[in-house]
Chains A and B, each alone.
Chain A
């Protein structure tokens, strides 16, 4: 690691500064119009330095180094695993999402232990292979994307090298997902690494007692290393310094997750670390953070309550800087809000989550088919789309430009009004496609029905549809075709 100047906050980085270090040949090899456009994209993290082929020439070596320094994120990006399922963690540029964008959505690992039976021996017993399969197949389709779990954390509860090695081998055979090897015993860890180092697992974890042995293993097997110092930031920072000196470059930091008493310490520890990294340029803390909501299960008690606690701790940690989570529950109801929240908070605030406005056609509508209306907020649109398709309805759907805002908020904020509905109808050319004048608006826009009829010159009838698009099929069954005047 070279001694370097403290990184500038990303919000202070200017395209001019980047531009001055580029070859300025405007060769367009990168696909941009000119070097300035490339510089703007680099600063906005919308392209990669490697696209500039000129920069690879010897004469630009110094510039390239400087650019790499300039553009390095406050939190180092570390890769765990290999191939298409490898995960990148960290790589964070900013503290607040609105300042830029959060990169690398927090991967979620779910645990197995090395003492689980390979296959179930008794009815109802959970086997290693069943559990890995369950982690692998967990999926929820949310606005056209599959939300999934990402990794398997293999915990050694046996504390026996041979047992651990065999469990790791079995998991490797069962899945391509990246692994986290969890044991504080270096001998056990080495047995696991021998079996899996080619797949680049995360070593969890170095502590104040075993750091030297774990560092040797990380170097020998070339794998990333987690540092665990529960509620002791002095120790965590000291271990980070020590391990960097030792030569281990890819670190992850775990300041401890305290699910009950101590949750305020947990959230504040994560926040303090991230602030020092992002706003203070502290390189010893500029590594991805690991949260372990799985500790919610240490309290014992009702499994449903443990899953409940684990879920909200996970969501709070995603909001407050966890770059990787280790969890236990595989309950759909408890994982779903966590996965959806992760997806939401990692969307790019610079880009509206909207779809193009205009008229959409579903199935084979004719001149008697219904005309529905919705907004151009992506979540609203995809929800309506999926319901209409699922029900196999032949219809027209008018998507009104509400600047990417959902129906209820668009009505309240006047982004969906009688005026822009009337305008959308005129522009869409729908009047030439249907021979009726009935418009079905969302139930949440009921307030606009009268005004819209007025705005359309009294020729149209506005029907108030269901509040949720899952009710469209039922609504049409009862109300379409309309029963005259």
Chain B
């Protein structure tokens, strides 16, 4: 993030100049020439040379046209040199697991949903959060899952059957040393129950404590051998705690996928991936670059996801992984759950629209997997993803006269 703040767009001539002096002071910001180049060049390359365009000819004395002057539209198509890796989640019986179906994400060759250029090979998918213990949830969410709270297997079934989740995330919150400190054995049992309750691919979410997560993930990986679950998440903190290698190797040995989590920092995301490459196949890594809630930093998330996709397409191999968003974080925004004045009610809608908007703008930034919670938000996301599967459905007649319609 620090780098992003410091990036000032400067053309090649100044860069040349800079390289002579080594560094230059712009206002209060000191920038090393080398650093500047690293961050400026991909952008420079991305800006394609402008094509020739028709400029209306200018007669000496302009005569007002009496008929429409034809000026046909040709979309500007870019061809990127590289693409996002494909990652498969879940495994069927014949593949060594027990899932009813598998899900493949990634493989994009263009910016998110530039359908005119290249449609994504796989639609984004939605994972629903299921907690392994009763937790406090916003009222708007709680009202929909009251009867399954504390029963992860039943919750998972409901998520798939009633809400239409493509995957289920088992959040092993009870393993947190600061909460219940449940043992890896207990966690394994919970995951096993969920695997039996539903046949979609699953994500296993840790508690965020690097050492504890490592212990739990290693045992879950062994129990669920061959199921190709997504372990959420592996971090640089794990590396610092000296447990990253053990977890990544266990995941690789048992054929799972890992979620590489970093906090809004592409350099750190790349660093973590570099640490993972010797330990686990490249097609078994998905990235989470952090989702900040709408109103609480979502613009960082939006821009970092767009930058990651663009850099990946331009050839940055360390960023060519599918991307996951913890869209549930939308509920961290107080506007999503707080009681406000009557003019902002009902909050039963304000909450889920908050999650929906958070998800949809990130869909446009290039997210492949959404972790979501509210059934209304999930329903809208699924509807849009379905609508975005193709173009050519707009009916001009339908809106041609919107101006006079009585609402």
Contact = CB atoms under 8 A, between A and B. Distances in A.
A114 to B, nearest CB: 10
B296 interface: yes
A261 B399 CA distance: 12
Interface string B299-318: 10011101100100000000
Nearest to B362: A319
B14 A16 contact: yes
B65 A230 contact: no
B38 interface: no
Interface string A254-271: 001110111111111001
B297 A267 contact: no
A446 B296 contact: no
B360 A315 contact: yes
Interface stretch (A50-58, A403-411, A433-441): A403-411
B295 interface: yes
A10 B9 contact: yes
A280 B11 contact: no
Nearest to A311: B353
B332 interface: yes
A199 interface: no
Interface string A228-249: 0011111111111110111100
Interface in B262-307: 262-265, 268, 290, 292, 294-299, 302-304, 306-307
Nearest to B403: A182
B14 A15 contact: yes
A212 B76 CA distance: 30
Contact of A344 (B8, B295, B405): B295
A349 interface: yes
Contacts of B268: 413
Contacts of B356: 308, 312
A470 B332 CA distance: 13
Contact of A155 (B58, B332, B395, B404): B404
Contacts of A383: 334
B81 interface: no
A282 interface: yes
A120 interface: no
A247 B64 contact: yes
A428 interface: no
A183 B403 contact: yes
B143 interface: no
Given A14-B13, A230-B396, A298 B402 contact: yes
Contact of A341 (B10, B298, B402): B298
A304 interface: yes
B134 interface: no
A271 B341 CA distance: 37
A11 B349 contact: no
B76 A347 contact: no
Contacts of A205: 403
Contacts of B344: 332-333, 336
A333 B349 contact: yes
B350 A11 contact: no
Given A245-B64, A264-B115, A351 B407 contact: no
Interface string B331-362: 01011001011011111011001101100110
A403 B390 CA distance: 42
A295 B357 contact: no
Given A14-B14, A263-B384, A159 B404 contact: yes
Interface residues of A, number: 131
Q: Which of B10, B66, B350 has its CB near the most chain A CB atoms (within 10 A)?
A: B10
Interface in A204-246: 204-205, 208, 211-212, 215, 230-242, 244-246
B68 A319 contact: no
Contact of B349 (A40, A111, A308, A412): A308
B399 A409 contact: no
Contacts of A16: 11, 13-14, 17
B43 A256 contact: no
B60 interface: no
Nearest to B236: A414
Interface string A314-343: 011001100000001000111011101100
A268 B50 CA distance: 20
Contacts of B264: 405, 409, 413
Nearest to B66: A212
Contacts of A162: none
A332 to B, nearest CB: 4
Contacts of B10: 14-15, 43
A263 B7 contact: no
Bin the interface of chain B by size. 35 or more
A447 interface: yes
A281 B50 CA distance: 6
A98 B307 contact: yes
B43 A284 contact: no
A100 interface: yes
Given A292-B402, A337-B294, A233 B73 contact: yes
Contacts of A208: 68
A31 to B, nearest CB: 13
Q: Which of B268, B338, B353 has its CB near the most chain A CB atoms (within 10 A)?
A: B353
A377 B77 CA distance: 39
B53 A263 contact: no
Contacts of B11: 12-17
A365 interface: no
B387 interface: yes
B1 interface: yes
Contacts of A182: 403
A11 B64 contact: no
A340 B294 contact: yes
Contacts of B2: 403
A478 interface: no
Interface string A11-39: 11111110000000000000000000100
Contact of A295 (B50, B208, B304, B399): B399
Contacts of A43: 9-10
B394 A230 contact: yes
A298 B399 contact: yes
Contacts of B341: 332
A446 B178 contact: yes
Contact of A264 (B48, B69, B387): B387
B62 A113 contact: no
Contacts of B208: 412, 447
A474 to B, nearest CB: 14
B353 A280 contact: no
A292 to B, nearest CB: 6
B393 interface: yes
A316 B47 contact: no
Contacts of A231: 394, 396
Interface string B135-179: 000000000000000000000000000000000000000000010
Nearest to B290: A409
A154 to B, nearest CB: 10
Contact of B303 (A98, A159, A242): A98
List the 10 shortest-distance A-B pairs measured between CB atoms, nearest first. Answer: A14-B11, A413-B263, A262-B394, A281-B50, A333-B350, A265-B394, A332-B344, A233-B73, A241-B71, A230-B396
9 contacts: A37-B27, A43-B10, A100-B9, A258-B394, A276-B73, A279-B47, A295-B399, A405-B263, A409-B292
Interface of A: 1-4, 6-17, 37, 40, 43-44, 96-100, 111, 113, 115, 142, 155-157, 159, 182-184, 204-205, 208, 211-212, 215, 230-242, 244-247, 256-258, 260-268, 271-272, 275-276, 279-285, 292, 294-295, 297-298, 304, 308, 311-312, 315-316, 319-320, 328, 332-334, 336-338, 340-341, 344-345, 347, 349-353, 377, 379-380, 383, 403-406, 408-410, 412-415, 446-447, 468, 470
